[in-house]
């Protein structure tokens, strides 16, 4: 059973109540179609559990097969440094069909951020270390594809269809 090696850390993006007893961590790739499918499911799961669940997203870009995944991850981190992480996270998954620098700049603009500053950040690789750190934490924890979910630190090996994910989380809550 693979377990999360690095528990919640200050630079993580956390959604939900800090006193929630159950944590769902997703390692994801913004350009991965499976993560795109998981995106509305996670939202539904969050709505279902409300205050009982806290959600963390960590980057796991598969650069060899998803050429824009790294830039998307860095774009989300850029937005995060301006307090708009989750907005950008959502916009990226909602616009998977149009990935590329022009889209990322457009989304930055939409969130009231400076596209030129984003371009600069991408060119200088300002957020590359953070994304790599997420990636390696995943590799060390047994992430085996995207999305990979951990519920209270234990890797989910079964289905993450809505009901299955809810059942698995309920199971962890009861444990």
Partner 1 sequence: MSAILPAGTPAPEFALHVTPDQTLSLSELRGRPVILAFYPADWSPVCGDQMGLYNELLSEFQKFNAELLGISVDGVWCHEAFAKDRHYHFPLLADFEPKGAVAKLYGAYRDADGISERALFVIDKNGTIAWSYKSPVAVNPGADGILKALEDLPK
User: Segment 2-31, which members bind partner 1 (CB under 8 A)?
Assistant: 2, 5, 29
Token pair for 137:
């934490």
143 binds partner 1 (CB under 8 A): yes
74 binds partner 1 (CB under 8 A): no
With contacts defined by CB under 8 A, name the span among 45-53, 99-107, 112-120, 139-147 that binds partner 1. Answer: 139-147
Contact 68, 76 (CB under 8 A): no
User: Segment 54-73, which members bind partner 1 (CB under 8 A)?
Assistant: 60, 62-66
**Structure letter (DSSP) for residue 58:** E
140 binds partner 1 (CB under 8 A): yes
Element (H, E) at 23: strand 22-28
Kindly tell me which residue out of 41, 101, 111, 136 binds partner 1, with binding defined by CB under 8 A: 136
Supply the minimum distance, in Å, between the C-beta of residue 144 and partner 1: 4
Contact 147, 32 (CB under 8 A): yes
Which spans in the chain are helix H?
33-49, 69-81, 85-94, 101-110, 115-124, 128-141, 162-174
Kindly tell me which residue out of 146, 151, 169, 172 binds partner 1, with binding defined by CB under 8 A: 146
């Amino acid at each position: 059973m693979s377990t999360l090696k690095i528990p919640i850390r200050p630079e993580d993006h956390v959604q939900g109540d800090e006193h929630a007893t159950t944590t769902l961590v997703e390692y994801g790739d913004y350009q991965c179609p499976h993560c795109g499918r998981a995106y509305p499911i996670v939202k539904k799961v969050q709505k279902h559990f409300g205050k009982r669940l806290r959600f963390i997203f960590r980057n796991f870009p598969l650069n060899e097969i998803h050429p824009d995944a790294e830039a998307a991850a860095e774009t989300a981190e850029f937005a995060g440094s301006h307090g708009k992480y989750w907005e950008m996270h959502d916009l990226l998954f909602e616009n998977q069909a149009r990935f590329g620098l022009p889209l990322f700049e457009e989304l930055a603009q939409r969130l009231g951020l400076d596209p030129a500053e984003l371009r600069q950040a991408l060119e200088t690789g300002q957020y590359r270390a953070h994304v790599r750190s997420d990636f390696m934490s995943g590799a060390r924890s047994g992430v085996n594809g995207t999305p990979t979910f951990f519920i209270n630190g234990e890797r989910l090996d079964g289905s993450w269809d809505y009901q299955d994910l809810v059942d698995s989380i309920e199971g962890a809550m009861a444990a």
